[in-house]
């Protein structure tokens, strides 16, 4: 056990030092490269809402992150970096990714650089975020791709947005009428109000129907999908190598990469799987737990590499949703008699309490993986947001004077390093927590009755 901890310690300390060094280097690189934009930001922070103005004055090749700063302030800047996107940004370069669409006319695949062009920038009133059009076929608003021609061009989309807003207004009106109906005394009043509500709701439904902005099915390799695939490739590469070592050096002491991962594999097996599931049944679930643990951990570490396109893999709901669903499916499939019995009728509880308890228990079945999903997403995203907030601080305060720029910069850098170290812990901790809770759910599903 002590040797295990020692290996982990030396491993983490090496990586810790690496991070500190990397963070220092990248923070300053970031500050320096950002300095060019510094002046421009000063001009635009005040009239950030004025989109037309920005379009005309935007610098050549300015990263979209800075554009979001200009249009939406630090909030937009942070969200832009945390959110998924159809291209990667690295040190001012824009790296296009393949856009894959399942359209009415079949499968389409093209580079995302078709969207991210200055001449393609569009503005849709009523829709937040950046819009890029591609010919007259597609428009990408806030990283979501819609049909353009089919929706009647930008103007058509704007109209649809207006219609949706009108529908929202109607909904509010209906709510007011409902309240009036409750207060109404006579039957006549009630029927007339009912008629009014029915008329408004049909109108609202029609508006909603016509307000739907049609979109192709987007199965693009986005930034986070690429990160996900990268993590998967790294995992397969590493663990096939580790497995080869185990085959080659059967019964011998671990060596090299095998030695690096063995404590972690043992940690997952002996400290997560076995205590939560039990020795006999743990073997069945250990491969999944190992995969999930290393996937989340690697994904988090990849997201922590400073200024490397800002992967936010485990902080993307769509990805954690899949993990949670897999956990749910495994738990449900493996649920034994005791598990279902416990859920449908908790033993040793009076019958009238069961009326209350059983729905809660059934709901809990879904709540558990949902919580798993939200916890992971929120924790990873929050870490990224805090670090980006410190970056934003530099430019917010730096807008005043050169002194404030460097002073707040230094302070922010120190806090960022501190946050990075915490993030390193969180990267591991969240992988551990997700795996542990999944193991506990599996354990509850296969537990034998002992009362």
To other proteins, the closest distance from the beta carbon of 184 in angstroms equals 41
The helix or strand, by DSSP H or E, that contains position 168, with its residue range, turns out to be: helix 153-183
Residue 161 or 354: which CB sits closer to other proteins?
Answer: 161
Minimal distance, residue 231 CB to other proteins, in Å: 9
Closest CB 162 distance from other proteins, rounded Å? 22
User: Using only C-alpha atoms, what is the Rg of the chain?
Assistant: 27
Cβ distance to other proteins smaller for residue 295 or 405: 295
Other Cβ atoms less than 10 A from the Cβ of 400: the count is: 11
Binding site for other proteins (CB under 8 A): 79, 82-84, 100, 217-222, 224-225, 228-229, 232, 235-236, 239-240, 242-243, 246-247, 250-252, 262, 265-266, 269, 283, 286-288, 290-291, 295, 312, 315-319, 321-323, 326, 377, 381
Shorter beta-carbon distance to other proteins: residue 40 or 269? 269
The tokens 């005040």 sit on which residue? 46
Whether 445 contacts 339, CB under 8 Å: yes
Helix (H) or strand (E) segment spanning residue 441: helix 402-446
**How many CA atoms within 13 Å lie on the side-chain side of 395?**
28
Residue nearer to other proteins on the CB measure, 287 or 403? 287
CA separation for the pair 131, 393 (Å, rounded): 27
Nearest approach in angstroms of CB 373 to other proteins is 10
Q: How far is the CB of 383 from other proteins (least distance, A)?
A: 12
Please, which residues have CB within 8 angstroms of residue 178's CB and are 6 or more apart in sequence?
197
- Distance, in Å, from the CA atom of 397 to the CA atom of 407, rounded to the nearest integer, reads 9
What is the token pair recorded at 420? Answer: 């990075």
Q: For residues 142 and 358, which CB has a smaller minimum distance to other proteins in the complex?
A: 142
The CB-of-178 to other proteins minimum distance in angstroms stands at 30
Record the tokens describing residue 392, joined without a space.
């934003």
Q: Which is nearer to other proteins, 221 or 343 (CB)?
A: 221
Residue 410 C-beta: closest distance to other proteins, Å: 30
Q: Which is nearer to other proteins, 222 or 430 (CB)?
A: 222
Report in angstroms the alpha-carbon separations of 64 from 86, 261, 383: 12, 38, 21
For strands 98-103 and 106-111, give the pairing.
antiparallel
Numbers of helices and strands, H then E, in the chain: 13, 9
């Amino acid at each position: 056990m002590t040797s295990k901890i020692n290996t982990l310690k030396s491993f983490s300390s090496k990586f810790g030092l690496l991070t500190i060094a990397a963070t220092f280097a990248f923070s300053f690189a970031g500050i320096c490269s950002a300095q060019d934009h510094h002046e421009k930001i000063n001009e635009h922070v005040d009239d950030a809402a004025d989109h037309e103005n920005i379009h005309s004055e935007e610098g050549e090749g300015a990263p979209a992150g800075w554009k979001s700063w200009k249009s939406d302030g630090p909030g937009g800047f942070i969200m832009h970096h945390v959110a998924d996107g159809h291209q990667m940004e690295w040190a001012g370069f824009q790296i296009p990714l393949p856009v894959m669409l399942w359209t009415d006319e079949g499968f389409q695949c093209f580079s995302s650089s078709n969207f991210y062009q200055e001449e393609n920038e569009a503005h849709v009133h009523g829709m937040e975020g950046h819009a890029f059009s591609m010919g007259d076929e597609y428009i990408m608003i806030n990283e979501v791709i819609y049909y353009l021609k089919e929706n009647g061009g930008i103007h058509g989309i704007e109209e649809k947005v207006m219609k949706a807003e009108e529908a929202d207004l109607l909904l509010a009106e209906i709510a007011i009428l409902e309240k009036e109906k409750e207060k109404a005394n006579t039957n006549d009043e009630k029927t007339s109000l009912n008629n009014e509500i029915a008329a408004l709701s049909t109108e609202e439904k029609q508006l909603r129907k016509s307000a739907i902005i049609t979109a192709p099915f987007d199965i693009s390799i986005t930034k986070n999908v690429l990160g996900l695939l990268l993590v998967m490739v790294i995992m397969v590469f590493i663990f096939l190598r580790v497995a080869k070592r185990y085959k080659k050096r059967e019964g011998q002491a671990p060596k090299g990469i095998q030695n690096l991962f063995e404590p972690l594999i043992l940690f997952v097996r002996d400290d997560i799987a076995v205590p939560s599931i039990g020795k006999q049944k743990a073997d069945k679930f250990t491969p999944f737990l190992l995969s999930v643990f290393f996937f989340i951990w690697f994904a988090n570490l990849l997201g922590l590499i400073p200024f490397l396109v800002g992967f936010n893999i485990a902080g993307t709901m769509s990805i954690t949703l899949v993990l949670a669903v897999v956990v749910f499916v495994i738990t449900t499939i493996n649920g034994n008699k005791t598990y279902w019995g416990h859920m449908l009728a908790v033993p040793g509880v009076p019958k009238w309490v069961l009326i209350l308890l059983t729905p809660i228990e059934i709901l809990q079945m879904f709540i558990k993986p949902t919580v798993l999903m939200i916890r992971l997403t929120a924790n990873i995203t929050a870490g990224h947001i805090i670090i980006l907030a410190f970056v934003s601080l530099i430019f917010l305060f730096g807008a005043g004077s050169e002194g404030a720029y460097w002073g707040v910069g230094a302070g922010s850098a120190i806090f960022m390093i501190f946050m990075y170290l915490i993030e390193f812990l969180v990267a591991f901790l969240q992988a551990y927590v997700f795996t542990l809770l999944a193991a506990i759910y599996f354990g509850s599903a296969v537990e034998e009755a002992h009362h």
